[in-house]
Amino acid sequence: MPHSTTETLSILDEVKANKQLLRSRLAGAISEPPPGVVESALPSVPLIDLRNSFSNDLLDRKEVASQIREACTTSGFFQISNHQITETAINDIITQAAHFFHDLDATQKDALHIRHNQLFRGYEVGGDTYVNPDDNSPSEVETKEGFNWGYEPSLDPTSTSADSYVELDGQKPSPPDRCNTWPDESLLPDFKPAIATYYAQVLSLARHLFRLFALSLNLEETHFDHLMTHPGGIGRLLYYPPQSSDQLAHKSHKLGLGAHTDYECFTLLLSTSHPGLEILFPASELTGGKPIWRQCPVRPGTLTVNVADFLMRWTNGLYQSTIHRVVSRPMTDADGTVKGSEARYSVPFFFSINYDADVQPLPEHAVGVSKFQNLKAGEYVLERLRATV
Ligand SMILES: O=C(O)CCC(=O)C(=O)O
Ligand SMILES: [Fe+2]
């Protein structure tokens, strides 16, 4: 697709600038605390109980919002309990992810390959795409396999304006190569229903969280409501294979997904309990002025939330769009003996605003004078996706 408009050109510049920013933020990162600094002294990912955020009392909701603000101004990551996504929806989507990656053969998966789709919907082969441009080398291929889908009016049962949905390029979705692509129902009959149930619930949770984000920025709770009437929301199934016995014997690690920030407002991540997600925490005195990689805690039953680039832009950098990656490492006992390695499955949901809306600076009283220009939400996400292949 030609990039002819001035607006698109400036979006390409933004994507380029983001690559440079990623490089500079990664420079000098350490993976172990400096000598004499114990792990427990370093910041971690807070757990926020969402129960009171569903209360009818605004003060209760504001109290949860202030915990969100604290997390977003420090690590940019937090985990949530009592999020109202049902256990059945969670178990079913993980089960269907395993069926997708293991029960379809290579030809069946290839028919769904993202190369057939202009919007990157469908199947991603392991080792094929990379989120960090500096990982595009044979020694650092990402091991993850994926399946991506986006918003469809039928997946948003509670919206009254779902039919206004436009795609990443601002156009109405039109088959066959500019909308979702699903495995044949006869091969995986329970796949789409499991996706639909989870997606409807996670979308509703994202809208709820966006109101809490508004409160956390001292804005009206409904401040962002008009931007999420038919929002972009890409869902993804990811599979990280276990390590081979050879890798285990050498205690080596394998890059699952390269270092990156997410593109949209925020991400809601569901994962199985095998660790692997690593977060780049900001530099501090304790870390000798260097950013530090730390494992994201595994807290079964919770979802992990991370701030992404739109929120970073809206808040003028007050909220961190945090760099993260997935690395498969051998599991070891306390004495260092290798115990083995497990597969990891995850289901990120990337919550955007309506793709035809602009990401515009927030009121100055909330975040000061903005250093960022307006962006068309969908165009930006599309260019970031194009930069991964
Ligand atoms: O699989 C994970 O745990 C993280 C996935 C992720 O960061 C992404 O897809 O952007
Ligand atoms: Fe991510």
Q: What is the DSSP string of 50-103?
A: -GGGGSS-HHHHHHHHHHHHHHHTTTSEEEEES----HHHHHHHHHHHHHHHHH
Q: Which CB contacts under 8 angstroms, 24+ apart, belong to 137-142? A: 140/255, 140/258, 141/255, 142/255, 142/256, 142/257, 142/258
Per the structure, the count of domains in the chain is 1
Kindly indicate whether the ipTM for this predicted assembly is greater than 0.90, answering yes or no: yes
Say how far apart CA 271 and CA 304 lie, in whole Å. 9
pLDDT band per the 50, 70, 90 thresholds, residue 13? confident
Residue 275, pLDDT score: 86
* Main-chain phi, psi angles of 162, to 5 degrees: -60, -30
pLDDT band per the 50, 70, 90 thresholds, residue 18? confident
* 39 domain residue, yes or no: no
Say how far apart CA 313 and CA 14 lie, in whole Å. 12
Q: What is the pLDDT of residues 275-330, one digit of tens each?
A: 899 999 999 999 999 999 999 999 999 999 999 999 999 999 999 899 999 998 87
Q: Please report the atom of ligand 1 found closest to the CA of residue 324.
A: 7
Q: What is the pTM of this model?
A: 0.93
Say how far apart CA 242 and CA 254 lie, in whole Å. 10
Query: Kindly report the CA angle at 165 between 384 and 379, in degrees rounded to 5?
Result: 20
Say how far apart CA 170 and CA 243 lie, in whole Å. 41
Both tokens of 92, joined, read 């079913």
Residues flanking ligand 1, CB < 6 Å = 236, 238, 257, 262, 269, 271, 277, 324, 326, 346, 348
Q: How far is ligand 2, taken at its centre, from the CA of residue 48, in Å?
A: 20
Q: Between 108 and 134, whose confidence is greater? A: 108
Q: What is the pLDDT of residues 315-372, one digit of tens each?
A: 999 998 999 999 988 777 777 777 777 899 999 999 999 999 999 889 888 888 988 8
* 2 domain residue, yes or no: no
Task: For residue 347, give the CATH number of its domain.
Answer: 2.60.120.330
Angle between helices 191-216 and 87-103 (to 10 degrees): 130
* 3 domain residue, yes or no: no
Q: How far is ligand 2, taken at its centre, from the CA of residue 254, in Å?
A: 17
Q: Please report the atom of ligand 1 found closest to the CA of residue 271.
A: 3
* 292 domain residue, yes or no: yes
Query: Kindly report the CA angle at 116 between 150 and 343, in degrees rounded to 5?
Result: 65
- Among the bound ligands, the one closest to the CA of 256: 1
From 303, 89, 307, 322, select the one nearest 210 (Cα to Cα): 307
Cα 185 to chain centroid distance, Å, stands at: 27
Say how far apart CA 379 and CA 358 lie, in whole Å. 10
SS3 21: helix
The best mutation among 234, 268, 277 to test binding of ligand 1, ranked by most ligand atoms within 8 Å of the C-beta, falls on 277
Q: What is the pLDDT of residues 204-260, one digit of tens each?
A: 999 999 999 999 999 999 999 999 999 999 999 999 998 777 776 766 778 889 999
Q: What is the pLDDT of residues 162-191, one digit of tens each?
A: 889 999 999 998 877 888 999 999 999 999
Say how far apart CA 208 and CA 302 lie, in whole Å. 16
Residues contacting residue 361 through CB under 8 Å, at least 6 positions apart? 314, 316, 367, 370, 372, 374
From 97, 6, 3, select the one nearest 387 (Cα to Cα): 3
* 1 domain residue, yes or no: no
Both tokens of 70, joined, read 């604290």
Q: Please report the atom of ligand 1 found closest to the CA of residue 267.
A: 10
Name the residue range of residue 209's domain: 11-34+45-333+341-386
Cβ 381 vs Cβ 263: under 8 Å:
yes
* 40 domain residue, yes or no: no
* 5 domain residue, yes or no: no
* Residue nearest atom 9 of ligand 1, based on CA coordinates: 348
* Residue nearest atom 10 of ligand 1, based on CA coordinates: 262
* 4 domain residue, yes or no: no
From 346, 372, 344, select the one nearest 358 (Cα to Cα): 372
From 177, 205, 199, select the one nearest 302 (Cα to Cα): 205
Give the Å distances, CA to CA, from 282 to 131, 295, 301.
20, 14, 27
